[in-house]
Amino acid sequence: MSYTKFYFRPGAGDNIYTTVHLFPDERSAINGRVLDTKDRPIQDALVLLLDESHTLLSAVSSDETGCFAFGPLKPDTLYCIKVYKNDIRLRELEIRPD
Over the chain (98 residues), the average pLDDT of each successive run of 10 is 74 90 80 92 94 94 95 90 78 69
User: CA separation (Å) from 85 to 34, 39, 47, 65, 69?
Assistant: 10, 15, 9, 15, 17
pLDDT of residue 1: 46
Q: Domain map of the chain by residue range?
A: 28-95
Provide the 3-class DSSP secondary structure of residue 62: coil
Is pTM beyond 0.85 here?
Answer: no
Domain range 28-95, CATH class: mainly beta
pLDDT of residue 63: 96
pLDDT of residue 26: 75
